[in-house]
Chains A and B, each alone.
Chain A
């Protein structure tokens, strides 16, 4: 059974003049446990909207979204919030770290919404996660004093801290230079794989998409499988390395 399944999903928004703007139209997508799916598309093609729908941050205007085979359409807000915290980890293009909170506090933050043991051990778990992304010594540093690449690694640690089943990454390398982006992407892919989480990456960078098991293109709100990319990557994908060595 697929973990996530979109069936004929559409999303429209009302416009101020009374008209309706379709953002997504008839999107079908299956994501199995542990697999890596990449979605590429130009700016404004609806990629973020699709990812927000997958992460239960938004609801479709039409179609059905099945999570573990269960329809999500009728879920109450409370249940959606709980599922969102338990099933998904988010990585944003702009990192979205909590300002003025240390790296460790940032990584521990999702565990504030967990229960019992997970909540009580949050500090320790956060330190372990920071270790895994190679930032074990930067736990007390606030985001304002970290480089872009380091901030995104904190965000990756944060996305994985509750051992999600799916990591949703919205242009995770979009704000980074090419080389740093490649390293961060390699880290994200291996960390998700190590945690057994499926990874849905949105990107407009074909080199990033290359790391995925399956690739899709989103064009004007319609999703279609992507033909195999050009054989020569602009930047060679880094050889798989143990996580902690990505950034010593």
Chain B
């Protein structure tokens, strides 16, 4: 017990006494660990953001899209029949998250006149599956299907065209058609390019104005709606194979297509990105380690006499070795700790959302990745051990009598 304490005490005392040179030699390691930890952390965060963005477009990994229509008429199956078939399917395969999505064009009465706006008719779970985070208001929910007035989620351009700054005044918009109805704008999302207007409505509702599956003057429907199934990536192929078959049977001969919607390559791409970042970090760190080694070599020669004196106190070779080694490890560990701390402070204070996600709040606000912090500390310690190795060997091999000879 006490020899361990004593070795630590000795190493610490060395670091303290040689403050200036230690600090100097550590600048490299500090910068390297700082850079590496920050880059790794940002890399992990960027990866997460990219994933979110990609998921917003095509759903989480793995999302399977399913469409069904009558091969003769091209018409979608009857809603009740379809719901029953889907319920049977999800139960059979233990699929917990599904969403439906249909596209239509809706006539909105805007201040400048009636405008056709591309509208997605989605089930409330679509928001979860695509990680939609409204920048204001709320996302659609199941209750919207039964509400007296339709609920609409729009993009910022839509709100702008309406001449409304935000949702504070509970804005409404009239949906034209046979039965014009005043819809409430409940949420705003950041989506769409330029001044393209976009709107979301819940997939179906009880109101008399709602006839999404038939061609009405209010809205024209593009093809059948799509069912999205969220399954584990390893389950995807299996589910795709059975879905067409099972649904086709349940719907009595309807044409059912199933396809993978998310990009399975994404994870691979992100993996490569992380690897590249880590590679650069290792090179930078190695350079920092060389700095520590260099100064360690210079000072161990200056301290040969001191080591000889310690030998006269009864220091064994292993104690001499451990002391020089630990000194290096102690120092780089502290540098690593400081670097990681600074990195945490920096990353936490970066305006990540506006940098990476064009101001859209991130669904999972990225914490500082623990992996990056641990990695930084481990790397710093390892560099200290490696850089301490050679000076420690030199110190052990120094001849005592030559060392203390004046």
Contacts and interface: CB of A to CB of B under 8 A. Distances in A.
**A pairs with B:** yes
Interface of A: 48-49, 52, 55, 57-58, 77-78, 81-86, 88, 90, 92-94, 96, 98-101, 105, 109-110, 112-113, 115-116, 119-120
B6 A113 contact: yes
Given A98-B309, A99-B306, A112-B9, A81 B314 contact: yes
Contacts of A48: 401, 405
A88 B311 CA distance: 12
11 contacts: A48-B405, A78-B316, A81-B316, A83-B314, A86-B314, A94-B406, A98-B309, A105-B13, A113-B6, A113-B315, A113-B319
Given A82-B314, A92-B309, 17 more contacts: A48-B401, A49-B401, A55-B312, A58-B400, A58-B401, A78-B316, A78-B318, A85-B313, A85-B315, A92-B406, A96-B404, A98-B306, A105-B13, A112-B9, A112-B313, A113-B314, A115-B2
Given A57-B401, A58-B401, A77-B317, A96 B2 contact: no
Contact of B313 (A77, A94, A110, A119): A110
Interface in B6-56: 6, 9-10, 13, 17
A116 B5 CA distance: 10
Nearest to B6: A112
Contacts of B404: 57, 92, 96
A85 B13 contact: no
Interface of B: 2-3, 5-6, 9-10, 13, 17, 305-306, 309-319, 400-401, 404-406
Contacts of B312: 55, 57, 84, 88, 90
A113 B5 CA distance: 11
A49 B316 CA distance: 21
Given A57-B401, A93-B406, A116-B2, A101 B17 contact: yes
A134 B6 CA distance: 28
Contacts of B405: 48
Contacts of B5: 119
Contacts of B311: 57, 81, 84
B2 A81 contact: no
A110 B316 CA distance: 12
B316 to A, nearest CB: 4
A96 B305 contact: yes
Given A52-B401, A115-B2, A82 B316 contact: yes
The 3 closest A-B pairs by CB, nearest first: A85-B314, A110-B313, A81-B316
Nearest to B312: A90
Give the most central of B10, B315, B317: most A CB within 10 Å.
B315
Nearest to B18: A100
Nearest to B317: A77
A119 B2 contact: yes
A110 B319 CA distance: 13
B40 to A, nearest CB: 38
Nearest to B405: A48
Nearest to A158: B313
A90 B310 CA distance: 11
Contacts of B10: 112
B317 A81 contact: yes
Nearest to A86: B314
A83 B313 CA distance: 10
B2 A100 contact: no
A52 B13 CA distance: 28
Contacts of A105: 13
